[in-house]
Structure 1
Amino acid sequence: MAKKWTTVEVLRHARHDWMNDLQLIKANLSLNRIERANEIIDEIIRSARNESNVMNLNTPELFEYLITFNWSKHPIDLKFQVDGKVRDLHTYEETLLNGCRLILSLLNSHASMKTENKIRLTIATDPLLLSFHFTGGLENREMMEDALEDFKKTHKTFSIIESYIRQDELFLSLTFVDEKHI
């Protein structure tokens, strides 16, 4: 079951994230690394736009899950974005949320604790796709392959349209099986 965040907890985590970003900018400016400080500012702007785009999909539970994911202990760092025109996806929210939870849970289970692990989730809106691009380390590639095979067999809502797994990278692109509803 998903954690229910209080307003105070949300504000505490958001403030902490902002303070980290501001400290990075300030540190780079104090070292006269103006270009790096500007890159960090650009990253913050991109992140805020991505958050806004996901929020505007009208999928509040999915938005909450994605925005709070990095606030809990995970061996992976999540970034997300929306590709395509932002549109109302509230009808598909439960399916999108379950797909994200399942795949991110699999990656959490198989990600190495010895490496820096990152995942980029892309939500494409036309056609509706979820793409997961993981970089880092996988503890057991064969077990991850088996887990994805089980996912294919047991989760008939999604179809895997593209995937590959390497020791330090995984890519997975899912679409709805019955896309005429979209």
Structure 2
Amino acid sequence: MSLKGPAALASLAMPVAAVLIWPRSWWALIVFVLWTLGVFAGLAARQRKQYRENCDKLLAHAQVSTIRTLSHHRHDWMNELQILYGYLRLNKLDKAVDVVDRIRTKMEQDSRVSQLGYPELSSYLLSFRTICDTMRLEVEVEDGLSLDKLPLEAESLSRAIIGLVNVIRFRASVPLAGENVLRMELTQEEGGVLKIVMKYCGELAAADSITEELEKCLQGTGRLAQGLEPAENSAQARKMVIHFPPSA
């Protein structure tokens, strides 16, 4: 049956009317039963089709996001390798060692981000460059830190962290010079307390209401110990400190 949901259900009025008009007629009852089975079978088939289409869309979106993320990372590694090759050609071994150390540090941080314990958060942080062109995100994760090993609800914590980054992301405006940079440090303190330090340098729109937006993102899962405070003696540098859980 090709009718849409509301129309298919409305079509049941005809066999119901037939049963009411001819209550003792066996054919009216048979038509009603067969019609009803056909309607619900059609609705079930339609729902399965919509579910498959939604799954296909989500899969396609994930594939495109993965390809874009890998493309950005490949571009970064190619730039680093070109710089390394140039230093080696010039026999500047000390500079070449610095480049290798920078590559190693970046790979270690990406590995720690991927092992945070919640795939949605790791995917968001690693693919951030593909969804934002007004701000650069640098993430530093303490060695061995995994959210699923903390006495916290990992899913709520993951959503809160993504929300915190998005508050800054959506307020970051195109700078007149340089670039906007958000540096986020995740460390574990005593008692399983997670400490997040966010340092932002760049242009911000409607900065006066950011602290309120940050607190809304936490939704009771964390405590904003320090919000949008000046940092590094710069008018464009701001520092935010968050503790999870809020009783910390």
Measured against the shorter chain, the TM-score band is 0.7 to 0.9
Cα distance, 1:67 vs. partner?
0.8
Map 1:17-166 onto structure 2 (within 5 A): 17-83=76-142, 85-89=144-148, 92-113=153-174, 114=176, 115-126=178-189, 127-135=193-201, 137-140=202-205, 143-152=206-215, 155-163=219-227, 164-165=229-230
Q: Secondary structure at the match of 2:132?
A: coil
Amino acid in structure 1 at the alignment position of 2:118 = T
Cα distance, 1:132 vs. partner?
0.8
Matched length: 176
Q: Secondary structure at the match of 2:141?
A: strand
Whose radius of gyration is greater, 1 or 2? 2
What residue number does 1:4 align with? 62
Work out the CA distance in 2 between the residues paired with 1:175 and 1:19.
37
Give the % identical residues. 23
Question: Aligned in 2, Cα 1:178/1:100: closer, same or farther, shift over 3 Å?
Answer: closer
Bigger RCO of structures 1 and 2 (CA < 8 A, at least 6 apart): 1
Q: Secondary structure at the match of 1:4?
A: helix
Cα distance, 1:123 vs. partner?
1.2
Cα distance, 1:83 vs. partner?
2.3
TM-score using structure 2 length: 0.60
Gaps of 5+ in 1: none
Amino acid in structure 2 at the alignment position of 1:108 = R
TM-score using structure 1 length: 0.78
Question: Are the counterparts in 2 of residues 61 and 93 from structure 1 also a CA contact under 8 Å?
Answer: no
Cα distance, 1:159 vs. partner?
0.9
Match of 2:235 among 162, 167, 175: 167
Root-mean-square deviation over aligned CA pairs: 2.8
Greater fraction strand: 1
Cα distance, 1:16 vs. partner?
2.3
Greater fraction helix: 2
Moved more, 63-72 or 22-31: 22-31
Cα distance, 1:48 vs. partner?
1.1
